[in-house]
């Protein structure tokens, strides 16, 4: 199939970047412009939720400069294609008012589609933990692969895969909250240390109510495993969290200098730890710049 020369990328025709004469990729794949209405999503796509705001932002980018990364399809009938990877780009292209999209056309067996979609999404787009767990479960139940084989195919350790699968044993409320990213995987893994679903739910509600960190959840779980109840555990956690006034003042001063929250923990003997959280690489770099400036001023 030939690639249409009307497709623009970064203001230039695609033919300015690559040859447009029946471009063929490695293996049994071709790249072509495919009409959007000839494409359908993959029912086994591991991603089930798409952030509407992020999707609109991508649509705006596509409207401005076009698709930079082709999606990956397989042909299922004459003029009909199914998405292997790139459903988000396909949806955004529709929002952008596009009629076609550049795509790799792969020759692939049905049983490999879910595997490729999972690998592509893990590497490119952050699936939530439950989506990943369900995708691993699908691979194990529908392809006959062992955990070792899945580990090899997706480039993750067997332990990591096991940890994801264990999440599916949590109560539905916890799984839904994890999927919505109201809690993270660290919280969920801490809850899994409790054998009782009712206790898991009680601690889960405390997490949402009090905004507990993973460390606090781990502490509560340990108290419960030692035979204490929720209220007793909360009192002990609160007592441990109290800092001497001098430590509190120093923490606040440091937070003011770094322009971020600072956590300080301290034992009764004065031994402790300072934690400086950051949300992304950009935040980390800003912290390092501030620390470098302080060092130069000494």
Q: How many CB atoms lie within 10 A of CB 32?
A: 19
Cα 164 to Cα 275: distance, rounded to the nearest angstrom: 27
HEC letters along 192-208: CCCCCHHHHHHHHHHHH
* Residue 84 token pair: 């292997």
pLDDT < 50: residue spans in the chain: 1-28
* pTM score: 0.52
> Sign of the C-alpha dihedral, residues 58, 59, 63, 68?
positive
- The residue extents of the domains of the chain are 31-108, 109-168, 184-239, 245-297
Would you call 87 a catalytic residue per the annotation? yes
Q: Which of the listed CATH numbers 3.90.1530.30, 3.40.50.2300, 3.40.50.10170, 3.30.2390.10 matches domain 31-108?
A: 3.90.1530.30
Residue 126 confidence (pLDDT): 63
CATH code linked to domain 109-168? 1.10.10.2830
148 exposure class (CB count in 10 Å sphere: 0-12, 13-18, 19+) = exposed
Q: CA torsion, points 247, 253, 254, 258, in degrees to nearest 10? A: 160
pLDDT tens string 235-291: 777 766 666 667 777 878 888 888 888 877 766 666 777 888 888 888 888 888 888
Residue of 33, 53, 64, 87 marked catalytic: 87
């Amino acid at each position: 199939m030939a690639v249409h020369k009307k497709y623009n990328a970064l203001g230039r025709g695609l033919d300015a970047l690559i040859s447009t004469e029946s471009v063929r990729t490695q293996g049994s794949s071709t790249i072509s412009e495919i009409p959007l209405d000839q494409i359908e999503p993959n029912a086994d796509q591991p991603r089930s939720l798409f952030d509407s705001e992020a999707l609109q932002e991508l649509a705006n980018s596509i409207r401005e400069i076009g698709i930079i990364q082709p999606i990956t399809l397989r042909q299922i009938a004459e003029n009909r294609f199914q998405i292997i990877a790139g459903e988000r780009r396909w949806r955004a292209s529709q929002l952008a008012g596009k009629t076609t999209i550049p795509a790799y056309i792969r020759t692939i067996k049905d049983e490999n589609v879910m595997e490729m979609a999972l690998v592509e999404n893990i590497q490119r787009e952050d699936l939530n933990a439950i989506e990943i767990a369900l995708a691993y479960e699908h691979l194990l139940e529908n392809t006959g692969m062992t955990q070792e084989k899945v580990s090899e195919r997706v480039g993750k350790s067997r332990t990591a895969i096991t940890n994801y699968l264990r999440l599916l044993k949590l109560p539905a409320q916890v799984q839904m909250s994890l999927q919505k990213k109201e809690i993270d995987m660290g919280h969920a893994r801490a809850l899994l240390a409790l054998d009782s679903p009712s206790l898991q739910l009680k601690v889960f509600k405390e997490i949402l109510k009090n905004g507990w960190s993973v460390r606090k959840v781990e502490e509560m779980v340990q108290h419960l495993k030692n035979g204490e109840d929720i209220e007793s555990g909360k009192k002990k956690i609160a007592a441990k969290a109290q800092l001497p006034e001098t430590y509190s003042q120093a923490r606040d001063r440091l937070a003011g200098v770094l322009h971020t929250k600072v956590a300080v923990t301290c034992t009764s003997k004065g031994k402790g730890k300072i934690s400086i959280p950051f949300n992304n690489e950009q935040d980390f770099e800003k912290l390092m710049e501030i620390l470098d400036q302080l060092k130069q001023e000494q």
